[in-house]
Structure 1
């Protein structure tokens, strides 16, 4: 009983280990998939056999105990001995009433296959599952410091790719042999222009990227999320006017115009001043080879100021004007003017990437560090401009060359953005009509305007920095750019795979009740063995010796073939297992009285001819065979 219980648990654990080894593993060979599933079912089957064998051994002990305690009809005795084969045991009131423990144990045997063979293999399935993992991987990032040390005379080649700069430069000496030579900024490079144009005209509201960006960044066929950080340029924007009442605030801030130019007072839906303080190109006239001027001035190539973006726009509130309200003679709905200012800043970017299939999303956070060029341009009362101040903040190509080149890269990027923002959009009022917009700005080619009216979107103050960030992040679509680098970061990876899925909880939910019930059954069987002082079996030899009773011989005449149907009168005879009160054949054989030897004959019989079996007394059996009785008689 103990051995079968241990073997059954080991088989169940073997099924668990097999399923666990298959968990989340893919197997393209369907034949092999079927084989491993059958291996699991085989373990479940053998486990069922082992569990059932242990319970059957307990049933045998309890069956003999029940037959000793109560007299049963031959019919019921048949059912008790066939408890694991004949389910009619469960609807027989005699067995239910006199042998409830046997019936309960038999029920366990009948239910074990339900849990082990039928339900436990269901813990292993095959289908799609979400695989979650993480790793430290190299992902693309941006390093604008690389522009600080770029020399157009020395090509930078990495992994067989010639790296491209963000800017084109002029020089005072192409050969770099003349004392005091220096390079100075000319214009954005063609590669920068191409990337910025493709981003601006893209129909997708996000940055550009290479086609296999997900595979490169996620480490294979995964979806993934990760975060990168880098320092680059950004525009820090603040709103200075909302409505016509803020004109004085604009004048104090040095704005180039007031809200009067915007609808509904004026006729503009959008206006931008983005070139005040712009770097002059060309710096000097009559440039020679490589942009070398005839006479080099002291401030040649200086960055003295970075243009501030002054942007005004007016939004249709969609609220109808009442009769007699201001501007109701020309406008049907109320227009709200807004003015904001953006300053070019060096910024720490924190960008979260989320790749999912062919798509990706970015979550950008800005930490503004300092202005790219920390100077201001003031206006005189007559609207003329003063020189940028302070002069100590000018950036020269002769002194701090790395800083100058990085500032030139930032300026080139800002210059590309400003070309899309400059200009204006005029609105023809709906009264007397017709109502239409006339664009004099490339902003209408970008996603910063609505598709319906070609007027700016209402959250333009937020969209401008994000649009600029998209241009910068779009360099990932051009790995040949010098600023594109790599960074090792922590990447969270997910993907759906077709593989085996194992639910250990489901498996042990099937086996735990079986183990508990079988354990209880074995305890009952062991307790019964201890109480009886011996074990019992239902083999032919055991049945033969327990039915050696002249009374049974008499009532069973004419039914010796063991055939069905069996005589009904005999089936209804009530028999019990006990000690035959008469002399046994063994003692008669040796000519001795059973009382003197204390050896009784245990057998089936009618209740009136039997005495109860008592633990500790001597009975004719394996421990006291007939030959021992004869030897003892001879000695006496």
Structure 2
């Protein structure tokens, strides 16, 4: 941007020399010589009263406010920088909390905006800096070395090493320091957008969720099995029949044993100590990369356990109407007895062989009519468990009863568990391919078979189980097909639990316990504590049974595994679709943008405040220059230094690339420059007797040595 070389529209008829001084400079200078014959013009000061030159100046009309003014660029640059800072905030705020997709691109965009903000603020301050330069050189004489550093301070870092410049041009150097420090703005603001691991949670639906519905076992006809995904549905039970002709009036099917798929699933659950899940269940239900939770409700069997005795010599209570087995008491358990674990879970068990005689084809040879109670479910075995816990489990117990402290080292306990039909509410949590289940609610509805087992009474019903139960009216008979099949399914599942619980653990010698039970393969007995049962055995028995039931989901061929959204449809092994979507909560850890708005605005606020102060300083400098925007372009420097005012200096030293040191230390200033010319001295000018006029008759403004230049002394 060029200087206003010929202010206010006036032009000298003698020369066309340019001036760097503003109209006010010239006007003020003309006022200092009150005895001179001055024209009423701010352009030229005439010293000779003899031949005042004529002027033919043309006064231009003042520009309207909407016309472009060079000074506006400083303010527009500042406003552009502020707008970019606001845009930076808006951009980062729009990304905050969203998944960090294309992170590199977003950071680059933010850096570009930050750079634009920095460029706008720096451009405004650079303009202000240049104005302060001219205010300084108009009011102070500075050495050439200081002038070199001052004019180069905003673009040459080595110029900042001149200590004297900080003493002579404090404000200008503060503005230059701002220019050099603003790259920090880009670094600090770019770091306000980070990527952090965050838990993304969404309430949605999942299409692969299943539940249990044992009605499917009630309705299944094993002679014509249900197929899904070209695979046969699996029952919980294996069946036998009284005749090959299903039209015979004496025909009916009756329960034989648990099915092999059920045995396999229950065994896996017992050994693993948790519910078994299907491989890849996370992807099937939650989709790839997601975890999910969901809650289902279903009706299934459960064992309800209660504590019946605790302590040496305590009497075992009855369980509902069930009396404990004969001879079952705490006397069997240490410290009085030899057992740390004693379980009786087969009283009243269903016989696997209802008819003794069969032909080679496996068909019963007993002639009809068949006994009324053939295949009937009379009772569900009650689980009776006696176990001992150590009084001080963290201390070493006596190894046998011959050692001191044996009688006080153990507490015998007895629990009893009955089989109930139960309403479950279960929460499934599928995380990182692992399934965690939690029964959040368990409502016991009714006993599977509401009878009481009568010990010591023989049954004459044609079966070999010799089980007697009352009342007989509550027996479940095979001809009551749906109820019978449902009870058969529950009985088959319960038999798997009872098979693991039954038996004993002889701990007469703690260092050599002898097990006669599968319970030591489950989570019920603690191998770190000499295979003593955990104190919370009653809860653990219920949990173990629930693990077996929930493990049914690992084999989707089971008839009773159905869609949670369509509980009347067997799910099979296939994936779900829109019709099987069921509420779930999906979650995953993902990189999300985290915008630190406070940090960004701290940085921008400081930068904007300093830039605003710089713009204010530049505004004052422009006002001191009567609204003229000055620059440091080549043409402007040439206009300020032309003429012979500095020619008397020896500019060339031994090293032609650098000024001699004595030249660098000379004081130079900017103002009205005078030259000794041979013309007379204006005797009437007593204020500036050293002043001489130029040959052309006009006053010249430029750089000159101290004593050759008249300045305005208004500070820096």
TM-score range, shorter chain: 0.7 to 0.9
Give the aligned partner of residue 381 of structure 2.
307
CA contact (8 A) 1:244 1:259 kept: yes
- Distance (Å, rounded) in 2 between the aligned partners of 1:335 and 1:106: 86
Q: Give 1:418 shift.
A: 0.8
Alignment root-mean-square deviation, CA: 4.5
Q: Judging changes above 3 Å, is the alpha-carbon distance between structure 1 residues 93 and 198 closer, same or farther for their aligned structure 2 residues?
A: closer
3-state DSSP class of the match of 1:246?
Answer: coil
Structure 1: runs of 5 or more not aligned: 28-32, 595-599, 615-636
Deviates more, 1:50-59 or 1:289-298: 289-298
* DSSP-derived class of the 1:230 partner: strand
Q: Which residue of 1 aligns with 2:315?
A: 247
Q: In proportion to residue count, which structure has more helix?
A: 1
Instruction: Identify if the C-alpha distance between structure 1 residues 558 and 441 changes in structure 2 by more than 3 Å, giving closer, same or farther.
Output: closer
Matches within 5 A, 1:275-290: 275-283=346-354
| Map of 1:490 onto structure 2 | 584
Q: 1:183 to 1:5 in 2, by over 3 A?
A: farther
**Pairing partner for 2:491 from 375, 394, 411:** 411
TM-score scaled by length of structure 1: 0.77
1:180/1:613 CA distance change after superposition, 3 Å: farther
Partner of 2:421 in structure 1? 346
Distance 1:523 1:150, change over 3 A: farther
| Partners of 1:139 and 1:489 within 8 A in 2 | no
Farther off after superposition, 225-234 or 143-152: 225-234
By how many angstroms is 1:312 displaced?
A: 0.5
Question: What does residue 634 of structure 1 align with?
Answer: none
Match of 1:456 in 2: 533
Cα deviations by residue, 1:40-71 (Å, 9 ceiling, x for unpaired): 76776666545433321121122222333433
Partner of 1:370: 445
> What pairs with 1:472-491 in structure 2 (closer than 5 Å)?
472-487=549-564, 488-491=582-585
Q: Which residue of 1 aligns with 2:66?
A: none
Does the 8 Å contact 2:458/2:467 carry over to 1?
A: no
Partner residue in 2 for 1:544: 638
User: Judging changes above 3 Å, is the alpha-carbon distance between structure 1 residues 248 and 316 closer, same or farther for their aligned structure 2 residues?
Assistant: closer
Residue in structure 2 matching 1:521, options 614, 618, 631:
614
Instruction: Indicate the residue corresponding to 1:439 in structure 2.
Output: 515
Does residue 70 of the first structure (1) align with residue 140 of the second (2)? yes
Structure 2 counterpart of 1:110: 180
1:460 deviates by 2.2
* Kept after mapping to 1: 8 A contact 2:139/2:711: no
Corresponding residue for 2:330? 259
Q: Indicate the larger mover: 600-609 or 133-142.
A: 600-609
| Equivalent of residue 150 in structure 1, options 213, 220, 227 | 220
Helix, strand or coil at the partner of 1:462: helix
> Which one is further off, 605-614 or 446-455?
605-614
Q: CA deviation at 1:526?
A: 3.9
For structure 1, which segment, 63-72 or 468-477, has the greater mean C-alpha deviation from structure 2 after superposition?
63-72
| Bigger Cα Rg | 2
Conserved? CA contact 1:579–1:613, under 8 Å: no
Q: 1:365-404 maps to which residues of 2 (within 5 A)?
A: 365-373=440-448, 375-377=450-452, 388-389=469-470, 393-399=474-480, 401-404=481-484
Is 1:193 paired with 2:263? Answer: yes
Residue-pair matches, total = 585
C-alpha deviation, 1:329, in angstroms? 7.4
Q: Any residues of structure 2 matched to 1:169-184 within 5 Å, and which?
A: 169-171=239-241, 176-177=246-247, 183-184=253-254
Q: Which residue does the alignment assign to 1:572?
A: 665
2:145 alignment partner, SS class: helix
Classify 1:305/1:583 alpha carbon distance in 2 versus 1 (closer, same or farther; 3 Å): farther
Instruction: Give the superposition deviation at 1:164.
Output: 0.6
Contact 1:242 1:336 in 2 (8 A): yes
- Distance between the aligned counterparts of 1:247 and 1:392, measured in 2? 32
Structure 1 CA distance, aligned partners of 2:693 and 2:226?
113
Distance 1:275 1:558 in 2: 119
1:220 deviates by 1.0
- Deviation of 1:239 after TM superposition, in Å, equals 1.3
Tell me which moved more, 377-386 or 328-337: 377-386
2:100 maps to 24
User: Could you state the TM-score of these two structures normalised by the residue count of structure 2?
Assistant: 0.69
Structure 2 unaligned residues grouped into runs of 5+: 1-73, 460-465, 565-581, 674-687
Give 3-state SS (helix, strand or coil) of 1:428's partner. Answer: coil
Q: Partner of 2:369 in structure 1?
A: 295
